Amino acid sequence: MMKLSNQAVGALMMALQKSLMEQSDIVPVLATMEFVASTTGELSVTNPPVVSLDGMEVNETPEEESTVLIPEG
């Protein structure tokens, strides 16, 4: 049995937020996600979506399993 890791759940939520903000279809973003299985039976996303907010880039990294705000430019 496989479960989504907290990072994978966050990546799915980022995909949903991105599609809502851009008023676009979520399916292409989900279709490009690449999942990897860990030894604990959890799935993680190797290429989470990136969402840009008012000059800030939001990027969830698999290593940190948290959201990082990075100023653009």
pTM listed for this prediction: 0.68
Please determine, for residue 72, whether its predicted confidence score (pLDDT) is greater than 70: no
In sign, the C-alpha dihedral spanning 45, 65, 8, 69 is negative
Q: How far is CA 58 from CA 2, 13, 16, 65, 68, in A?
A: 27, 12, 14, 13, 6
Q: Per-residue pLDDT tens for 3-41? A: 999 999 999 999 998 898 889 999 999 999 999 998 889
Res. 54: pLDDT tops 60: yes
Identify the residue with better confidence: 36 or 60. 36
Binned at pLDDT 50, 70 and 90, residue 51 comes out as confident
